[in-house]
Amino acid sequence: MEALSQSVTLNAEPLTPFMPWSVEERAPLSEPATVGAPERQLLVELLREPSSIVERLLDPARLQGLVLGSVGVIAVCTSLFAATSSAARGHVESWVVPAALTSVNVLMALAASLGPIYAASILVAARVPLARLVAALLASAATGSLLLAGLAPPLYLLWRLDAEWAGPLLLIAAFLLSGAAAGARIHRLLSLMAEEVTRSALGNASAVLSTEDAYRVGILARVSWMMVAFTSGLGFWAFNALG
């Protein structure tokens, strides 16, 4: 009997840190917001407060707002960067097409990467509910897009000063920095979300992720970053979004 018990334990699938452990714990993971409490600005949270983004991820009533807000931030910021890049290269009259293609490309890249990321989360036993995974990916991409938009004015200035070296180098650096920021943010969001779900499931406000859970969440975060980077790069190459 003891050997059978050990065999069952060894062959059991590890529990994902993103999902509650019992039927009772499948209730909403956060309390409803207090009536009259001021709503924090989404832009501020995207830049400075990943823990507040996690609160939105775990609140079904606020999840849709996070998704729509992140999509809007991505569309506006990437379009602004592409338009500025086109204007810096002297294509003032044809900035509309690159702006539209760039924002569509980023959103399509996120959609294309969702399937492989979700499959990876199942394989490493760190499955995230699909709605929360979509929102987390969009929020991290929105953070990177905000950084990209902030680098648009320096790009315009340097490209006008030196179109041979400084401008193109800053263009590449802007995408690299934006991607790094988005990758760091998705890792932070997934880690914080797993911790909050674990605390709710255990009923212990001071609980932390086990070493095994943290390792699997880290794998999922790295896979997410690599897939988004791959699909985005492929999209920019295929559509020649920046002209």
Report the chain (243 residues): mean pLDDT per 10 consecutive residues. Answer: 43 63 46 47 90 93 93 95 89 81 93 95 92 95 95 93 91 93 95 92 83 94 94 84 72
- Taking alpha carbons only, the member of 228, 51, 43 closest to residue 137 is 228
Residue 120 CA to residue 147 CA, distance in Å, equals 28
**Three-class secondary structure of residue 125 per DSSP:** coil
Burial 15-50 (b: 16+ CB within 10 A, else e): ebbbbbeeeeeeeebbeeeeeeeeeeebeebbbeeb
Residue 94 is classified by DSSP as: G
At 20 the pLDDT is 58
**Three-class secondary structure of residue 214 per DSSP:** helix
Residue 124 is classified by DSSP as: T
Residue 146 CA to residue 181 CA, distance in Å, equals 10
At 89 the pLDDT is 84
8 Å CB contact between 51 and 191: no
At 238 the pLDDT is 79
Residue 74 CA to residue 140 CA, distance in Å, equals 10
Amino acid at 179: G
Tokens of 233: 């790069």
At 184 the pLDDT is 95
Cβ atoms within 10 Å of 3's Cβ, excluding its own: 7
At 237 the pLDDT is 83
The HSE-up count of residue 222 (CA atoms within 13 Å, CB side) is 7
Residue 99 neighbours by CB under 8 Å, 6+ apart: 78, 79, 80, 82, 83, 86
Estimate to the nearest angstrom the gap between the alpha carbon of 212 and the chain centroid: 22
At 241 the pLDDT is 74
- Model confidence, pTM: 0.84
At 202 the pLDDT is 82
